[in-house]
Amino acid sequence: MTNLFEDRPIVILPKMACAIGMNESIFLMMFREEVVFHGTVIDDSHWIKRSLLDWRDIMPWWSMAMIRRTIDSLEQQNILQSSIEFNDDPADRTKWYSFTNYAKTTLGVWSK
């Protein structure tokens, strides 16, 4: 068995969890790390292209349904936005995700 403490920790911000939900705050912390290290700048915003399977690989403790509900919640709260318009292939339905301007300016989720 591998050492359970070799994995990287997830930081939970209590105020964020109270404001937007525990699952949403966990997802946002993982999302922010992904977009910082693997994202692409498009129109002055950092975007990341990820499928639900990609998110499942990043957060294997959640079901695909939980990931979908969490992303939907973040979009409904105007924290995340998604688009397929950046895909080169019109048949590619993989979504790109970014923080909304509201999240960046009002909530301060982007500090780069």
The CATH number covering residue 58 comes to: 1.10.10
* Dist CA 39 CA 41 (whole Å): 7
Q: Map tokens 């939907």 to a residue.
A: 72
- Asked whether residue 93 is assigned to any structural domain, the reply reads yes
Q: How many domains does the chain have?
A: 1
* Dist CA 29 CA 58 (whole Å): 12
- Asked whether residue 45 is assigned to any structural domain, the reply reads yes
The CA radius of gyration of the chain, in Å to the nearest whole number, is 14
pLDDT digits (tens, 9 = 90+) for 62-110: 999 999 999 999 999 999 999 999 999 999 999 999 999 998 888 777 6
| DSSP, residue by residue, 95-108 | PEEEE-HHIIIII-
Domain span holding position 35: 10-107
The predicted structure's pLDDT at residue 73: 98
- Residue 54 tokens read as 């990609």
